[in-house]
Amino acid sequence: MCLSKLTRRSSMYLVKVLNKKSEIEGCGTFAAEFIPRGTIIFYFGRDEKYIPKAHFAALTAEAKERLYKFGVEDEWGNWVIADGDVNHSCDANMLSLFANGIYCEIAVRDIRKGEELTIDYALLYSSFPWSMKCNCGSANCRGTVGSGWPVSPQVQDLWNSRINAAAKEIFAVPQPLFSCKEEKAEELALAIKLKMNPGVFPFVKFSLISKR
């Protein structure tokens, strides 16, 4: 059973969110307030459960399967267990963004109060092949998403245009990140503030850069 739970500024979320049953799949994370485009919505804090590559290799098959479902892997084989349930959508309203190598999620369009937060799973790094049938129901649903699946130029253009437009709004909207005093949040905030006229280095790992 999916229990509704209101969260604000946990070690991950920087906005008010509500966990409840999703029409996409299982439990989902929903906006409990209006979130303007350009808002940094969440990040991985110091208190998240990090699992180094060496420890991951020694896990049981069952534990690895749990990480495959609820964790996020980096390019070096280390893992972090995600806090919350964010479903995939081919028309995602958040996208993954890196600032000086620090991972976060940014709103790539205005998100209404009560709207489900979604990301595009195809942007998450994976060292192993996987695929899943998509249930997002969006007009541009790709049907199947996964690691190693070809991504059309049209999808790449959509990602690039949306995240670059969002980057331009980072300093134009109220940014809860900038007042968060958690150690990792302050590190991320500094990395972002150092980017003048921010833009994004394109597909597939979006990195915040300074545009001249």
- Taking the CB of residue 77, how many other CB atoms lie within 10 A of it? 14
From first to last of its 212 residues, the chain has per-residue pLDDT tens of 444 444 444 448 999 999 999 999 888 999 999 999 999 998 887 666 778 888 888 888 888 777 766 667 776 777 777 655 789 999 999 998 988 888 899 999 999 999 999 998 887 777 777 788 898 999 989 988 877 667 788 888 889 999 999 999 999 999 999 999 988 899 999 999 999 888 888 755 788 888 76
Cα 194 to Cα 190: distance, rounded to the nearest angstrom = 6
- Tell me the one-letter amino acid at 167: A
Placement of tokens 């946990």 in the chain = 10
Q: What is the CATH number of domain 5-47+87-125+153-206?
A: 2.170.270.10
Structure confidence by residue, pLDDT tens digits, 35-57: 999 999 988 876 667 788 888 88
What the block records as the tokens of 161 is 């245009």
pLDDT in the model for residue 12:
80
Model pTM score: 0.84
Question: What ranges do the domains of the chain cover?
Answer: 5-47+87-125+153-206
Residue 31 parent element (H or E): strand 27-31
How, if at all, do strands 144-146 and 50-51 pair? Answer: unpaired
Query: Which of 134, 131, 106, 116 has the alpha carbon at shortest distance from 38?
Result: 106
Is 158:169 a contact under the CB 8 Å cutoff?
no
Is 155 exposed, middle or buried (CB count within 10 Å of its CB: 0-12, 13-18, 19+)? Answer: middle
Quote the percentage of the chain above a pLDDT of 90: 39
